[in-house]
Amino acid sequence: MSLPSPRPLSADEVASLNASIPLQFGDYLGPLPEGVPAVRGPVHLPDFEQDGSCLILGDLQVEGLLVNPPHTSLIVTGSLRAGTVLTMGKLVVLGDMVVGDMYGNSFSNEVCVVKGSLSVRCLLEKGHSFETLGRLSAEAALSLSNVISAHGGVEAGVAALRGMNDDERRRVLDASLFDDEGNLSEPRIVARLRAALPLLRAA
């Protein structure tokens, strides 16, 4: 599903937006220039797979799958809600973020940063930096590369923020995510997310 047509931001809009960017995000989101194109929110989509970088001025709600591909950025100045998120690019949220399952891998090149709180059923990180200035709440927060940071603390049924061994992964994640050699398979993770199936092993 595509976004509505963007329009250039005025000088006042850009000034207000730049003032809302926290100092901690300076490396990911520098001052924006006047006239930068933006889609005015709130935006509500059944699903959304980016075909280029975009800026949402306000809230974004995606009922199903949100795909943030490599070499793209998605900036949401309000809050973001989505059923499932696959992020391999840069994702910046200046409000809160509430999602179901979420997987990130950019070979340690990109980030997902949230100014507010991050609430997620399962956060699975494999070579992608996640940072929230608020609280991280999750059924499971699983870092395979030790790059999940929550300044407001972590509340999770399973919190493995400093890596996981193979046995720990198999106890938590669905068996369909592992290949015949017992290794966690990214194509299987992506396929399961696209099928709207949970990453976590059934209780």
Which residue, chain included where needed, has tokens 């999770």? 156
Instruction: Quick: pLDDT tens for 78-93.
Output: 999 999 999 999 999 9
146 pLDDT exceeds 70? no
- Quote the CA–CA distance of 75 and 50 in Å, as a whole number: 12
pTM of model > 0.85: yes
SS (H, E, C) 69-136: CCCCEEEECCCEEEEEEEECCEEEECCCEEEEEEEECCCCCCEEEECCCEEEEEEEECCCEEEECCCE
Q: What is the mean pLDDT of residues 110-139?
A: 94
d(CA 57, CA 130): 22
Residue whose entry in the numeric block shows the structure tokens 């949220």: 93
**pLDDT of amino acid 203:** 66
Quote the mean pLDDT of the chain.
Answer: 91
Look at residues 189, 158, 156, 183 and name the one whose alpha carbon lies nearest to residue 170: 183
pLDDT at 3: 85
Residue 16 region by backbone torsions, left for phi larger than 0, else alpha for psi between -120 and 50, else beta: alpha
| Phi, psi dihedrals of residue 98, rounded to the nearest 5° | -130, 115
Averaged over 182-192, what is the pLDDT?
A: 92
| Mean pLDDT to the nearest integer, 175-194 | 93
